[in-house]
Structure 1
Amino acid sequence: MRVEEFQTTAAHPGTVVPKDAASGTAVLESIAQRVRWTAAAIVDAANRGRPNTSGIKVGGHQASSASMVEIMTSLWFSELTAADRVSVKPHASPVLHAINYLLGDLDENKLSTLRQKGGMQSYPSRSKDPDTVDFSTGSVGIGATATIWAAMSHRFVSDRYAESRKSGRFIGLLGDAELDEGAIWEAVADPTVAQLGELLWIVDLNRQSLDRVVPDSQIMRLQGMFEAAGWQVLTRKWGTHVQELFTRPGGADLHRRLETMPNEEYQRLLRSPDPEIFQRLCASGSTPAMETLLSSLTAAEQAAAVRDLGGHDIGLLLDTYNQVDPTRPTVIFAYTTKGRGLATEGHPNNHSALLTKDQMEKLAEASGMDLGDPWRKFQAGTVEERACANTSLRLKRPERALAPSLQIPDSLPWGYGDRISTQAALGRFLSDLKRAAPEVAHRVVTCSPDVASSTNLGGWINKTGVWSVGERQDWFADDQERVLRWIENSRGQHIELGIAETNLAGLVSELGTTWSRWGRPLIPLATIYDPFVARALEPWSFGMYAGGQSILIGTPSGVTLAPEGGAHQSLTTPSIGLEQPECTAWEPAFAQDLEWCMLEAMSRTGIPGGRSAYFRLTTRPLDQAQAAIPTDPLLLERRRRHAVAGGYRLSDHDPVEDRVTLVGVGAIMPEVIASAARLKALGIMAGVVCLTSPDLVFESLQRRNSLTQGTPAIGFDIIDGLFPRHAPAPLVTVQDGHPHTLSFLAGARGDRTVSLGVKDFGQSSDLHDAYRIHGIDEASIVNAALNLVR
């Protein structure tokens, strides 16, 4: 039911009067005032209404919320459909909760729990809030851009499943200061984005950030940047009341005065008493006609006129939504006042300011509410109550059915060559997966930031094609020398982005939410040069926080990429992977290990309680015979189970014979194996442990020490299988990464431990020089072992 079906009076909220289409927005204005009150009361209850024994301010953002009230009220109560998805700027979370409460989507007992355990989160959280939240926000810029990647993900799903084609809009509500984030512009500039007509952003242009008033030149620059990227740009600066004044004699002069006024002066005008408005307006650039116009208004009318901004004019906002071009993305710059309707309105330091009890009582009086009974809903039978009921019905979403479970095989029927790198094995694995398990491969979507061919996705792309929004002509179809067939259409399974790792992480995160958004699980797999994982980490980590499940492959990695030099040699990424929540980090050395671990990771994506995965691969070909893969089916399965649990012992003697145990990860395993043989020649028995996932081994240690819960996948904790407590021995850990990544192994049995790894920036060299420079070569491993046993 549209807004025109309701009518109320602004002076007495809740009063039912006859329908009048000419003033149909009045009901929304009444609802907006209740939303403003409820949002402010939510923050007030968290701070004044709760005992505080820690002395730490609970906080909240009453002013940032107030500027968004009319924008969000007009959207929810008039424009949104059940198919729309909205990202709400972090500091407006109380407004979202207030609206959800009025719509019956949030229990009253939750309204006083902002930033409390089990209550409403500080910023909108898709996974942790008690009410409906479409996008997690809080990492500035990431929540807004998530709407872009969600729109693209829905397009991809729709192209694969016809019944998923019904789509709403993807709406981002963001503050103007949020546009300072580079992630915004990396996303906006991607050429595919210009084709997403379902994308709508509304910028809360209150001209204030945390510490300052936004410079005057900012808006023009921002508008031009969006237009250059192919967006429709709509700007709503002044409300209809003051626009009418601009048409009167002297109005053009008033308009010019307001338009040329510095933002800082305008903010000062907002903080001035009503009787001072005339003097301040006429202090500069005044004309007799303008003064005559202003003199015809009361002081209160003058104050109302300068405060009449487009972002608070609900009727103007509704008209603006009707002007949106559905063929391209749209951004609406809606001018607002930070703290609109609050005692802190327009104050340059109001960002985290909290209303006093006296100020809350005045706001309650203006809102027709009572501070002692802050959560009262609209009276039954009023037009506001009917609007809430009808909006709740309109926005009710159907129950999402989970897709049937998919049986992912434990292994594929083909092996690998005598010498192959894990990066090359990835390409081989994906090609084989399409043959061996086509139903699994159908769910796979690969992504890369312009590095598909150099990360060995070429074979997969040749088989599946490149996904694009619409068909694109292949001008190289007749080129007989072309190895990579770059065929772009709506049926492809690879998505290529420009060189912007934050875009990659944002897209793969949203592809990893399709199972929970639309009941269509995908297996998103992204390749990225490992040194740049850190650049993509924030949006990817935030995507996991929001419930996205995906697989990120960092390759090539480490100083093993010796000739490329220090700029392309990663050393901290193993630690990053181990420390990332809701993610399992893997670094298999051998091709068969990669296959097993990749299938295990795929089985955990797109399901309730699933996890993301990070793989660290290299381009160093290894002799696969060194993996000593068992031929006996029973022993082979045992090896697989150990590999997917975190690691296995490569040495075939009893661990009690170890005088020292060498522990390696990934591409460094040939040096570890050679060091064990050399030690044996010196009369020192050395055990060899190959870890596929230090992350899982650490989890096993924590579980054994009763610090975490869970059931071991292989029936016992892998930490005990690798390092039996009855067979202690000194440890030498080796990794092409920072040595502290494996230092936790010293706590498995209390063994003396030497951890070898990379601690300094590298340089261009050959592989053997690189290993010697960083002390992870065979000689260094042997010397470390000798120091422990002699």
Structure 2
Amino acid sequence: MTKPKTPARTEEAERLETLAAIEKKLLWLASWTIHHANHLRPARDRLKVGGHQASCASVATIMTALFFEIMRPGDRIAVKPHASPIYHAAMYLLGRQTRERLERFRSLGGAQSYPSRTKDATGVDFSTGSVGLGAAMSLFASLTQDYVRLHDMVPAEQPDGRMIAIVGDAELDEGNVYEAMLEGWKYDVRNVWWVIDYNRQSLDRVVPEQLFEKIESFFSAVGWRVVTVKYGKKLQRAFARAGGEALREWIDACPNDLYAALTFKGGQAWRVHLESDLGRNAAIREILESHDDAALASLMTNLGGHDMEAMLEAFRSVDTDLPHCFIAYTVKGWGLPLAGHKDNHSGLMTPEQMGVLQEAMGVPAGAEWEPHAGLDVEPARFDAFLAQIPYQRRVERHETAALPVPSVLPAGRRTASASTQEVFGRIMGELARSEEEMASRIVTTSPDVSVSTSLGGWVTRRHVFSRKEHEDVFRANQVPSPTQWRQSLKGQHLELGIAENNLFLNLASLGLSHELFGARLLPVGTLYDPFIARGLDALTYACYQDARFLLVATPSGVSLAPEGGAHQSIGTPLIGMSQPGLTSYEPAFGDEVAVIMRWAFEHMQKPDGGSAYMRLSTRAIEQPEREMDADLERRVLRGGYWLHEPQPGCALAIAVTGVVVSEAQAALGALHEDMPEAGLLVVTSAEQLHADWRARGSASYAAGLLAPLAPGAGLVTVLDGHPATLSWLGGVRGHRVWPLGVDRFGQSADVQDIYRVMRLDADAILDACARACLQR
């Protein structure tokens, strides 16, 4: 009599059976979604829609295991960009995605081409798209989770979640991945899982052999546990048979491109090669003879990443919060006729191939979108299973109250001469002394330039965040230094290595803490202005996710004179103007800095707000003796004000942004000898003026500012940056513009020489004014 199965075994077997049905359904829905978008939906522009059927297929098992079994409510996940359709299919089964949005995949109002936190309505945790950034984002999210936990900002009963990333193996070619891993090692990050979809194919080729050995060594070197899931249970059983070791050795030695080609060709091709290489082995012949071509192909492609039991075993084996890398061997295009072909990355199944797949899946015609169509388990059991999985209990977005911001930020003692960077440092130093709740939620971060960007006072008083307490050794040994570098669990500064991608990814994770973890933070990041360009991809990524932070870029422009052209920024004002989700300001005077910072701390907490960017300078200039009243504050924030009002009907004015206001003032002083009616406009935010002008035209604030000028008046614009930043002002009311600025690389010099060479000095401004007058 057959011994009955134990209840536990029966429950696990049913669980695996249901998961297999989900896996099959996800593969079908992802494939159909892409097919429908490319072959069935009308195409007005006749462009290929795309959608990466092969890339979805390779992660079908991984996605099923994570979303429908392994993930807990507190876990967050970044799904590799090319797996977007299968992610949307999973959300569809879970009731978080609609059929209508699937039908409109990659079209207006439909599911996005790559998972988007802001454009998709499915609760995406981390946007992906630019490869490598999603993985690194999960690491910095773990660091943020550690930060809010160790600062007692979340309830003690709120469990730590695992920050998970499903990563295509080609994403590991991106250098930012390794920069992030090194930073994670420095901060001893925990609860990070990266699942590598190791299909050994990139967009254009099959990757070199033994890449996994390098991957493993990289991860091990920075303290990660590496779990390799290479073979499925069928192959493991075959290896346990007589002759199995020879079969394992043959597969291990098989070049990646040959393995992919044989996978595409199928069982007969496998048989020919195995018989040629191992046919003399009687045990191998027995294995071959016991499998028909279809069964042999299934056996030889039974890799760990496509074996549910093997993947669950790997995930369940984790018994520590140390970061883990799972190298899951997969076949690109698994389960599809595209499997293994080197050109399958952007390949699409033909209608004929799709028909064969539909028949194999058991999906009736007309029922392609039905969740229960073609199921291998009872629909009631299927629905009951989906209802009880832990993922269904997650909080997609925490609701977090805004923090009150003081009506005036403390700026310390006012001096007759100061730089905007210096005033920023004073404000941060005074906030460090503050007992305001807002000050306890500020967290600063910088890529090894904290002191040179004037964060020294803040760091001295608020300390560096670290799991390990560490006193400033120089201070303990009575070595004089204005900055203390004490490390503690309660520190409020995250010091990074010189990697701007890491800075922006860190700001992204800190700036989403209120939604991800329910703890409101006010992140402030500093860096040298020219190096925004080095991390621009990650900055765009942060803004695309609607992360909230204040970016302080300083020093800027050729005003950094002796540092030379490599450190002198040119186009960053245009980056600030053009970057969605990031409002840019370039204050000329110190009192403007305080106003803008206060606005930024409020703006980053508003539902319809965003991040802010201040471009500052180290050059000290004379400060005006004035009170920042409500009207002036309003004008500073709206984008500009008249420092010297023009007389009505004036034929000439100067518009200036930032530190070159001193040169503009000197030029205006000389100009007033002959044209006392000329005015000087300080533009604090070209972006704010430009956006308002585009929206309201002749009723805009910029139009009102320029109204006193005569029609056709000359307008000389000047800033330490690209002249296009301000030259558009001529279009507001039809004034003739003479733009001055920086449009070529700088060089080492003192300020006077570099301004003369770049035509930013008072003489150059006067020359432009003269030409403007002559051309009237």
Normalization by structure 2: what TM-score?
0.94
The answer to whether the aligner puts 1:775 opposite 2:759 as a matched pair is yes
Distance 2:13 2:187 in 1: 37
Report how far residue 414 of structure 1 moved. 4.9
Partner of 1:665: 657
Partner of 2:107: 116
**Deviation readout 1:114-156 (Å, 9 max, x if unpaired):** 0121110100001111212111001111111110111111211
Partner of 2:449: 451
Partner of 2:514: 515
Report how far residue 162 of structure 1 moved. 4.1
Contact 2:648–2:708 (CA under 8 A) maintained in structure 1: no
Report how far residue 215 of structure 1 moved. 1.0
Contact 2:587–2:593 (CA under 8 A) maintained in structure 1: yes
Contact 1:676–1:685 (CA under 8 A) maintained in structure 2: no
Partner of 1:10: none
Contact 1:67–1:336 (CA under 8 A) maintained in structure 2: yes
Q: Which runs of 5+ in 2 are unaligned?
A: none
Letter in 2 for 1:313: D
Deviates more, 1:34-43 or 1:675-684: 675-684
The answer to whether the aligner puts 1:199 opposite 2:192 as a matched pair is yes
Report how far residue 248 of structure 1 moved. 2.0
Contact 1:39–1:62 (CA under 8 A) maintained in structure 2: yes
The answer to whether the aligner puts 1:719 opposite 2:702 as a matched pair is yes
Determine which of 22, 29, 33 is the counterpart of 2:20.
Answer: 29
**Deviation readout 1:310-348 (Å, 9 max, x if unpaired):** 000111111111222524211001000111111111111
Letter in 2 for 1:122: S
**Deviation readout 1:174-209 (Å, 9 max, x if unpaired):** 100011111111101115466222000000011111
Partner of 2:177: 184
Task: Report SS of the residue matched to 1:189.
Answer: helix
Partner of 2:305: 311
Matches within 5 A, 1:226-245: 226-245=219-238
Task: Report SS of the residue matched to 1:106.
Answer: coil
Partner of 2:208: 215
Partner of 1:136: 127
Distance 2:189 2:319 in 1: 11
Distance 1:601 1:183 in 2: 28
**Deviation readout 1:479-501 (Å, 9 max, x if unpaired):** 33132111111211111011111
Partner of 1:614: 613
Partner of 1:701: 693
Letter in 2 for 1:765: A
Task: Report SS of the residue matched to 2:384.
Answer: helix
Distance 2:355 2:161 in 1: 40
Report how far residue 438 of structure 1 moved. 1.7
Contact 1:188–1:229 (CA under 8 A) maintained in structure 2: yes
Partner of 1:712: none
Determine which of 20, 31, 39 is the counterpart of 2:30.
Answer: 39
Contact 2:649–2:708 (CA under 8 A) maintained in structure 1: no
Task: Report SS of the residue matched to 2:476.
Answer: coil
Contact 2:67–2:391 (CA under 8 A) maintained in structure 1: no
CA distance 1:99–1:5, change in 2 (3 Å): farther
Contact 2:641–2:682 (CA under 8 A) maintained in structure 1: yes
Q: Which runs of 5+ in 1 are unaligned?
A: 8-17, 707-715
Partner of 2:742: 758
Report how far residue 731 of structure 1 moved. 0.5
**Deviation readout 1:762-787 (Å, 9 max, x if unpaired):** 11111100001111111111001001
Distance 2:278 2:715 in 1: 80
Partner of 2:683: 691
Letter in 1 for 2:120: D
Distance 2:397 2:42 in 1: 39
Distance 1:511 1:120 in 2: 27
Determine which of 466, 469, 494 is the counterpart of 1:468.
Answer: 466
Report how far residue 516 of structure 1 moved. 2.1
Question: What is the number of equivalent residue pairs in this alignment?
Answer: 761
Partner of 1:348: 342
Normalization by structure 1: what TM-score?
0.92
Deviates more, 1:410-419 or 1:354-363: 410-419
The answer to whether the aligner puts 1:67 opposite 2:62 as a matched pair is no
Partner of 1:421: 419
Distance 1:149 1:393 in 2: 22
Partner of 2:240: 247
Distance 1:374 1:411 in 2: 60
**Deviation readout 1:382-415 (Å, 9 max, x if unpaired):** 4322211212774343873331452442454755
Distance 1:760 1:174 in 2: 40
Partner of 2:730: 746
Task: Report SS of the residue matched to 2:404.
Answer: coil
Contact 2:187–2:467 (CA under 8 A) maintained in structure 1: no
Aligned CA RMSD, in angstroms, stands at 2.2
The answer to whether the aligner puts 1:85 opposite 2:76 as a matched pair is yes
Matches within 5 A, 1:589-608: 589-608=588-607
Task: Report SS of the residue matched to 2:729.
Answer: helix
Counting aligned pairs with the same residue, the percent is: 38
Partner of 1:12: none
Distance 2:7 2:54 in 1: 29
CA distance 1:404–1:596, change in 2 (3 Å): closer
Contact 1:253–1:289 (CA under 8 A) maintained in structure 2: no
Letter in 2 for 1:163: P
Distance 2:693 2:398 in 1: 38
Distance 2:275 2:752 in 1: 77
